[in-house]
């Protein structure tokens, strides 16, 4: 694996506000890397420094072996960028935007085919202002892909979209990866990062506080599994002896079992079988990145 | 060469977009021409048409260019900045100079169309109204346009939002136009205002175009030419420095 992006000790302030504080990470070729954190955590600033849209105060950035700060044409030809809250001219038509972008790069893919793949072929004569939020985002993805980039930046891609549109966009991002591209994205949606990202970096108050795959982060910070068990005649004591159990109690007639370790759930099932308990309902709850975030920062990502 | 193809494509797109604006084509091209024809008809019966209509057509053109330059340009750039269009363009290989030049070219193209229509309309109503040296006059229009547009860029660079662009542009526009020698000679102004008027490129634009329209040579208006060129150089340098993408 080679690093496509190398960021070390990145710093950026706006006046007295430190937006990004000593952030270092790398993005490997072919992966989907997510920068996750609440609004205002410094995700967009970090990403825009890497894109070369913003100039960092300190630190070094290498994108495809080059410094993005120089606005090098050579680099811009190899990356694709989708910016948060970007707009186009209100009355520009979809095909005109794609056509304009095609002119800007020396090597491009077939714009019409791209529109078709992104489900925008029927909208090719529609003005930008008349597109829905999801269609606008799909157009921005098209523009980010027009130069067949090796590396694609997606900033808060699905913010403000309905769940249906969000799923469609996720499918598209996964397809970008299938084509062998590297994707660097930011999101404050934990579901999005779990669905898309190979690795995530958690950023809070401008500092990078964790980095790894979702499974690694969960295992590291939230190893507990919870089993909810409903049975005709169940007592907590039966389960208190199984390995890894941390808590066994009955709430509203449902047995809550909390434990750590990969084998915890199987142990519970074995115990049920052993004692021939007649189970009417069995549910497990796995911690997710949301829980990891809560554990790391003490607050929910939406606060 | 890359920049030329970018400029050509972006200009063509921007012209199309502009013509789609409800008030775009009408406000910029049709209204001035209609106003011109109406005024012309109104004064046709008079034996001696007022100076404003018969001689000062170029001044009317200057006002038109200034309105185009300062107001619409400032507003367009402010809207582009506010809504993130400039930022989106910054993240492409597009050069900032190409984006700025595009809007100058679009303005000039529309100005040319309006001028041509006025010239056609004018021919019907006044004998001998086209200038003796049309090419010279056309070059003058380009110089004045570019010089005043560079002022518009500074304003566009400094003014943060479209909401402020309009009033600030209007104040600048109307005060400078009112003392440009269009409505009364500059020498009739109070001393202090004469200084302001003579420092204003609009006054010199009026002087140059008025001269070229009536057949004067460029040499006899060298001060105006110098002021307009200096204004262009200074304003371009400043706007390049202070231009804000977002």
- pLDDT tens per residue, range A90-148: 899 999 999 999 999 988 999 999 898 888 999 999 999 999 988 998 899 899 999 99
Residue B94: per-residue pLDDT? 80
CA distance B98 to chain A (A): 12
Nearest Cα to B35, choosing from B43, B45, B47? Answer: B43
- Report the share of chain A in percent with pLDDT over 90: 45
| Contact state of B84 with A91 under an 8 Å Cβ cutoff | no
| Contact state of A87 with B88 under an 8 Å Cβ cutoff | yes
- Given pLDDT bands bounded at 50, 70 and 90, which one contains residue A56? very high
Contact B180/B201 with Cβ under 8 angstroms? Answer: no
- Given pLDDT bands bounded at 50, 70 and 90, which one contains residue A12? very high
Residue A59: per-residue pLDDT? 93
Residue B55: per-residue pLDDT? 58
Residue A29: per-residue pLDDT? 94
Mean pLDDT within A226-235: 84
CA distance B17 to chain A (A): 6
Residue B129: per-residue pLDDT? 59
Mean pLDDT within A203-227: 90
CA distance A205 to A46: 12
| Contact state of B9 with A100 under an 8 Å Cβ cutoff | yes
Residue B47: per-residue pLDDT? 46
Residue A20: per-residue pLDDT? 93
CA distance B95 to B245: 12
Contact B173/B66 with Cβ under 8 angstroms? Answer: yes
When divided into structural domains, chain B yields a total of 1
Mean pLDDT of chain A: 89
| Contact state of B13 with A87 under an 8 Å Cβ cutoff | no
SS (H, E, C) B146-213: HHHHHHHHHHHHHCCCHHHHHHHHHHHHHHHHHCCCCCCCHHHCCHHHHHHHHHCHHHHHHHHHHHHH
pLDDT, one tens digit per residue, over B160-186 is: 676 777 777 778 777 887 888 877 788
Contact B17/B105 with Cβ under 8 angstroms? Answer: no
ipTM: 0.73
Interface of B with A (CB under 8 A): 5-6, 9-10, 13-14, 16-17, 20-21, 80, 83-85, 87-88, 90-94
Q: Which residues contact B150 (CB under 8 A, 6 or more apart)?
A: B231, B232, B235, B236, B239
Q: One digit per residue, pLDDT tens: chain B, 246 residues?
A: 678 888 999 999 998 988 887 776 777 677 777 777 776 666 655 545 455 555 566 566 656 666 666 677 777 788 888 888 888 887 788 876 677 778 878 877 877 787 778 777 766 655 555 677 888 888 888 888 888 888 877 877 777 676 777 777 778 777 887 888 877 788 888 888 888 888 888 889 888 988 888 888 899 999 999 999 999 999 888 877 777 777
Nearest Cα to A96, choosing from A134, A53, A125? Answer: A125
CA distance A128 to A135: 9
CA distance A196 to B52: 69
Taking residue B191's Cβ as centre, other Cβ atoms within 10 Å add up to 6
Mean pLDDT within A168-193: 91
Question: Would you state the structure tokens that stand for residue A299, as one six-digit string?
Answer: 């607050």
| Contact state of B13 with A96 under an 8 Å Cβ cutoff | yes
Local structure of B49: helix, strand or coil: coil
Q: Which residues of A touch B6 (CB under 8 A)?
A: 103-104
CA distance B79 to chain A (A): 9
DSSP code of B74? Answer: H
Residue A45: per-residue pLDDT? 93
Residue A86: per-residue pLDDT? 81
CA distance B15 to B105: 9
The per-residue b/e assignment along A130-139, b for 16 or more CB within 10 angstroms, e otherwise, is ebeebbbbbb
Q: What pTM was estimated for this model as a whole?
A: 0.77
* Residue range of the domain that includes B38: 2-242
Mean pLDDT within A23-45: 93
Q: In a mutagenesis test of the A interface, which of B14, B17, B23 is the best target, namely the one with the most A β-carbons within 10 Å?
A: B17
Q: Which residues contact B235 (CB under 8 A, 6 or more apart)?
A: B147, B150, B151, B153, B154
On the 0-12 / 13-18 / 19+ scale of CB atoms within 10 A, B22 is: exposed
Contact B205/B121 with Cβ under 8 angstroms? Answer: no
Q: Specify the range with the lowest mean pLDDT, choosing from A9-13, A180-184, A234-238, B227-231.
A: A234-238
Q: In a mutagenesis test of the A interface, which of B16, B22, B92, B245 is the best target, namely the one with the most A β-carbons within 10 Å?
A: B92
Chain A residue whose CA is closest to B11:
A100
- Given pLDDT bands bounded at 50, 70 and 90, which one contains residue A22? very high
């Amino acid at each position: 694996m080679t690093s496509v992006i190398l960021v070390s000790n990145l710093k950026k302030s706006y006046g007295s506000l430190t937006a990004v504080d000593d952030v270092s990470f790398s993005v490997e070729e072919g992966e989907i890397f997510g920068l996750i954190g609440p609004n205002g955590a410094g995700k967009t600033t970090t990403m825009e420094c890497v894109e070369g849209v913003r100039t960092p105060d300190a630190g070094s950035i290498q994108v495809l072996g080059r410094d993005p700060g120089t606005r090098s044409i050579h680099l811009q030809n190899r990356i694709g960028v989708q910016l948060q809250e970007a707009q186009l001219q209100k009355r520009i038509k979809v095909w005109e935007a794609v056509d304009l972008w095609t002119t800007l790069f020396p090597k491009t893919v077939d714009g019409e085919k791209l529109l078709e793949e992104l489900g925008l072929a029927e909208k090719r004569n529609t003005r930008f202002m008349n597109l829905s939020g999801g269609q606008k985002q799909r157009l921005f993805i098209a523009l980010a892909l027009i130069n067949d980039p090796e590396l694609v930046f997606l900033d808060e891609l699905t913010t403000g979209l309905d769940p249906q549109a969000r799923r469609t966009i996720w499918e598209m991002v996964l397809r970008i990866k299938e084509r062998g591209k590297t994707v660097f994205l930011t999101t404050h949606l934990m579901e999005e990062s779990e669905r898309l990202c190979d690795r995530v970096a958690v950023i809070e108050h401008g500092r990078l506080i964790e980095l790894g795959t979702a499974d690694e982060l969960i295992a590291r910070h939230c190893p507990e599994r919870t089993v909810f068990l409903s049975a005709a005649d169940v007592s907590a004591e039966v389960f208190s002896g199984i390995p890894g159990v941390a808590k066994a109690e009955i709430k509203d007639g449902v047995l809550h079992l909390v434990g750590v370790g990969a084998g915890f759930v199987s142990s519970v099932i074995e115990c049920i079988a052993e004692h021939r308990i007649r189970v009417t309902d069995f549910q497990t709850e796995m911690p997710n990145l949301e829980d990891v975030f809560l554990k790391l920062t003490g607050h929910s990502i939406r606060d | 060469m890359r920049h030329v193809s970018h400029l050509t494509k972006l200009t063509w797109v921007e012209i199309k977009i502009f013509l789609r604006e409800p008030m775009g084509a009408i406000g910029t091209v049709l209204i001035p021409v209609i106003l011109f024809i109406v005024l012309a008809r109104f004064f046709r019966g008079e034996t001696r048409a007022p100076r404003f209509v018969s001689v000062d057509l170029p001044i009317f053109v200057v006002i038109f260019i200034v309105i185009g330059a300062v107001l619409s340009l400032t507003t367009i750039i402010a809207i582009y900045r506010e809504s993130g269009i400039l930022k989106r363009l910054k993240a492409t290989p597009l050069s900032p100079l190409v984006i700025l030049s595009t809007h100058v070219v679009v303005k000039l193209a529309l100005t040319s169309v309006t001028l041509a229509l006025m010239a056609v309309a004018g021919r019907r109503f006044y004998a001998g109204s086209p200038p003796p040296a049309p090419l010279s006059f056309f070059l003058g229009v380009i110089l004045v346009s570019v010089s005043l547009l560079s002022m518009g860029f500074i304003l566009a660079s400094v003014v943060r939002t479209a909401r402020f662009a309009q009033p600030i542009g209007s104040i600048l526009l109307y005060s400078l136009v009112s003392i440009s020698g269009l409505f009364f000679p500059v020498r009739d102004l109070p001393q202090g205002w004469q200084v302001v008027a003579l420092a204003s490129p609009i006054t010199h634009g009026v002087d140059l175009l008025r001269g070229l329209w009536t057949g004067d040579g460029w040499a006899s208006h060298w001060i105006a030419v110098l002021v307009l060129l200096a204004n262009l150089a200074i304003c371009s340098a400043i706007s390049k420095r202070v231009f804000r993408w977002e």
